[in-house]
């Protein structure tokens, strides 16, 4: 991966301008203001259901608005696609919550709690929902209207008297729920003498910075935390103006629950707040109102989305008096991803948003994936399995084909271990180690081995990790190198060395199939060069099979399976290629690698190469740079590393 900044090309500049223009076109908002009478005459008839939407329905419509369609016709959640990786199951559960709540089910009367380890994506998910709301409110589909000057930006439909709401339902097919807030009720009487049709209405736009439709509360010292942070308090500067502390216009409507009205309230680390805060929030969720001194119940329609970490949740569970609170929450776990490919995408995203000095450092193509494999190993359930079994589990989590393992059975086994992904290394830990490696590097280029060593230093120097876990995690680094990086770098070097690698490998695969079919049919093979009949080449077959640990007793069933897959491909009109059988792919590749071992040693290990060897080295390095994502430094290191591996075999 290269991260060097380059000047924008004219084509890129034009593409960027087109995207900016398209964005402004799609998000161009039409301002609107007028009296309630004008609103009921012009805005409501155009789309009554949109005007009368609840906060949950608005959230659900926003999510549907953001979704796209992939090549297979399946809907994708574009709102989350570019920022959250490997937590699709959690995202779908969140989406299902809003779908059910929008339909009017009981889950809409529950507080939504995201639960997971630090740096697992909880906050990012909430931020994306907030940004989605802001964008959606600037579109025609997301048009939102409120009483002008209302501190809770409430729906204008609240002004319709209860005795007339049935008529609205009969005329437009929508129900009106909710009461006018104390502030607007006072204005209606004082400024408009009760003539609700004259009350001003305007289109409103959700804005977290503007405290409109999005509220956020972060806990602080419980001893000084005040409920006023949520529900406000008397504004002494206005008491003199209005003459009464009980006048709603003398109340400070700065609480987070008021800011979130019509949209979403984010509660950060919710289980750290006082219990009275929780009861207020749960009552608001269930009854859609809050009670503060001097005022009747204040109706508020908002989605409350909270998040917390596992440590706080476990403490909360231990207190029996919290059982009633738990019963009124919908809890969705957001674990770490267990797919190393998605984990690597997280690292890439974090690096791309880092300082330019970090982005300018070149990373070899396997740095992020190798670090991710290590991270996944720390998150999997610790069993008694052998090294190879653990590496298989990592590959299965990445949805790679692993011969001898049934995918359905692997999924059933995974379901038995629900705690996987709730512990282990966080993405932040890996990025910190990567940052340290970048700072210490004087070459502006990092190899996978550099980063694995940096991770080892990070483990050794972290006082929070107990010695037993340190030893286990260092072992995982060794396994990540042994079973993943070694295979990847060998393949790169081998492909770079032999231009005709793919065709050579396919020819070997075809030869293997011919020999296997002849063996199973108990017939001879015609030599393509001499045209002479000969027995199948059992030595060749076993040479390939032994590379992937197929025993002599198991060769027959393996060969039958290969032929079945080849026949299946033939019936479908497809060519049986290296990608058709993952295990055989490895066997053929390793066999070919073995055949070229001496040439590779010659190219990569000559201490004083002659001109011919030097030219070969130059060609290999150039191919690694041009086609496989290396730079000059990491390409040389890869060649030297593979030479060392060959010497050890």
| Model confidence pLDDT, tens digit, residues 494-543 | 878 766 567 788 888 888 998 899 888 888 887 766 778 888 889 999 99
Mean pLDDT of 541-568: 90
Q: List the beta strands (DSSP E) in 174-239.
A: 200-204, 214-217, 233-234
2 has pLDDT over 50: no
**How confident is residue 489, by pLDDT bands cut at 50, 70 and 90?**
very high
Token pair for 520: 């199973």
Q: Does residue 106 have a pLDDT over 60?
A: yes
**Helix, strand, or coil (residue 33):** strand
Q: Are strands 75-76 and 525-526 parallel, antiparallel or unpaired?
A: unpaired
The whole-angstrom separation of Cα 73 and Cα 379 is 34
C-alpha 364/C-alpha 51 separation (Å) is 53
pLDDT at residue 605 tops 60: no
User: What is the rounded distance in angstroms from the CA atom of residue 359 to the CA atom of residue 434?
Assistant: 12
157 or 17, which is more confident? 157
Q: Which of the 8 DSSP states describes residue 150?
A: -
Kindly provide the b/e burial profile for residues 204-243, where b requires at least 16 CB atoms within 10 angstroms of the residue's own CB. Answer: bbbbbeebbbbbbbebeeeeebebebbbbbbbeeebeebe
Residue ranges with strand state E in 7-47: 33-35
Q: How many CA atoms lie within 13 A of 214 on its CB side?
A: 18
State residue 10 phi and psi, 5-degree precision: -50, -40
H runs (alpha helix) in 141-194: 162-172, 182-192
Q: Which of 77-91, 159-173, 309-323, 435-449 has the highest mean pLDDT?
A: 159-173
Across the range 458-473, mean pLDDT stands at 91
pLDDT at 350 over 90: no
Contact 118, 269 (CB under 8 A): no
Mean of the per-residue pLDDT values of the chain = 85
- The 3-state DSSP class for residue 329 equals strand
What average pLDDT does this structure show over 253-260?
Answer: 91
What average pLDDT score do residues 44-70 get?
89
Q: What is the distance between the alpha carbons of residues 85 and 420, in angstroms, rounded to a whole number?
A: 16
**Is a pLDDT exceeding 90 seen at residue 269?**
no
Candidate from 25-34, 197-206, 404-413, 439-448 with smallest mean pLDDT: 404-413
Q: What is the CB-side half-sphere exposure of residue 246 using CA atoms within 13 A? A: 4
Confidence (pTM): 0.79
The mean pLDDT value for 166-173 works out to 94
**E strand segments, 464-549:** 525-526, 533-534
Rg value, the chain, Cα? 32
Higher pLDDT, 153 or 399: 153
In 3D space, the residue among 149, 139, 169 whose CA is nearest the CA of residue 157 turns out to be 169
């Amino acid at each position: 991966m290269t991260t060097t900044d380059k000047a924008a090309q004219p084509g890129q500049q034009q593409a960027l301008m087109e995207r900016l223009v398209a964005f402004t076109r799609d998000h161009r908002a039409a301002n609107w203001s007028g009296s309630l009478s004008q609103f009921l005459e012009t805005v409501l008839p155009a789309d009554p259901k949109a005007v009368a939407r609840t906060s949950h329905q608005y959230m659900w419509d926003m999510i549907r608005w953001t979704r796209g369609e992939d090549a297979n016709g399946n809907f994708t959640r574009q709102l989350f696609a570019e920022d959250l990786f490997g937590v699709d199951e959690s995202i779908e559960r969140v989406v299902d919550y809003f779908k059910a709540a929008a339909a009017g089910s009981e889950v809409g009367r529950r507080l939504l709690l995201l639960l997971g380890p630090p740096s697992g994506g909880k906050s990012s998910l909430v931020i994306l929902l907030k940004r989605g709301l802001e964008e959606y409110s600037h579109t025609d589909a997301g048009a939102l209207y409120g009483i002008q000057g209302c501190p809770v930006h409430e729906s204008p439909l609240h002004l319709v008297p209860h005795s007339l709401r049935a008529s609205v339902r009969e005329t437009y097919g929508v129900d009106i729920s909710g009461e006018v807030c104390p502030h607007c009720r006072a204005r209606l009487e004082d400024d408009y003498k009760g003539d609700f049709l004259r009350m001003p209405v305007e289109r409103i736009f959700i804005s977290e910075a503007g405290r409109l439709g999005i509220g956020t509360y972060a806990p602080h010292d419980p001893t000084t935390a005040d409920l006023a942070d949520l529900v406000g308090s008397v504004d002494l500067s206005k008491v003199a103006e209005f003459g009464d502390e009980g006048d709603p216009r003398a109340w400070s409507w700065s609480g987070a629950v008021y800011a979130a009205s019509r949209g979403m309230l984010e509660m950060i680390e919710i289980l750290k707040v006082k219990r009275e805060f929780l009861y207020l929030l749960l009552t608001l969720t269930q009854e859609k109102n809050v009670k503060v001194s001097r005022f009747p119940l204040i109706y508020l329609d908002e989605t409350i989305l909270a998040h917390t970490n596992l440590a706080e949740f476990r403490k909360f569970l231990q207190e029996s008096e919290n059982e009633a609170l738990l019963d009124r929450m919908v809890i969705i776990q957001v674990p770490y991803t267990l797919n190393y490919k998605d984990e690597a995408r997280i690292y890439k995203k974090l690096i791309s948003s880092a300082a330019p000095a970090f982005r300018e450092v070149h990373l070899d193509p396997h740095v992020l994936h190798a670090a991710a494999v290590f991270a996944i190993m720390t998150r999997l359930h610790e069993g008694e399995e052998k090294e190879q079994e653990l590496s298989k589990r990592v590959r299965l989590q990445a949805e790679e084909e692993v011969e001898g393992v049934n995918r359905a059975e692997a999924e059933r086994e995974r379901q038995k271990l629900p705690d996987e992904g709730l512990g282990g290394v966080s993405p932040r830990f890996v990025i910190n180690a990567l940052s340290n490696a970048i700072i210490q590097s004087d070459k502006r280029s990092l190899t996978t081995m550099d980063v694995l060593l940096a991770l080892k230093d990070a483990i050794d120097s972290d006082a929070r990790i107990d010695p037993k876990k340190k030893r286990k995690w260092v072992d995982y680094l060794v396994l990540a190198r042994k079973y993943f990086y070694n295979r990847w770098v060998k393949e790169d070097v081998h492909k770079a060395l032999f231009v005709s690698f793919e065709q050579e490998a396919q020819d070997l695969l075809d030869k293997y199939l011919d020999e296997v079919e002849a063996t199973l049919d108990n017939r001879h093979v015609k030599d393509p060069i001499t045209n002479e009949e000969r027995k199948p080449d059992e030595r060749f077959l076993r040479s390939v099979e032994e590379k992937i640990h197929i025993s002599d007793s198991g060769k027959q069933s393996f060969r039958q399976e290969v032929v079945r897959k080849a026949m299946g491909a033939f019936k479908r009109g497809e060519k049986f290629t290296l990608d058709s059988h993952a295990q055989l792919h490895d066997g053929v590749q390793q066999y070919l690698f073995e055949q070229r071992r001496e040439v590779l040693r010659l190219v990569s290990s000559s201490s004083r190469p002659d001109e011919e060897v030097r030219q070969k080295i130059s060609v290999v390095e150039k191919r690694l740079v041009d086609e496989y994502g290396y730079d000059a430094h990491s390409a040389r290191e890869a060649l030297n590393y593979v030479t060392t591996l060959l010497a050890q075999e």
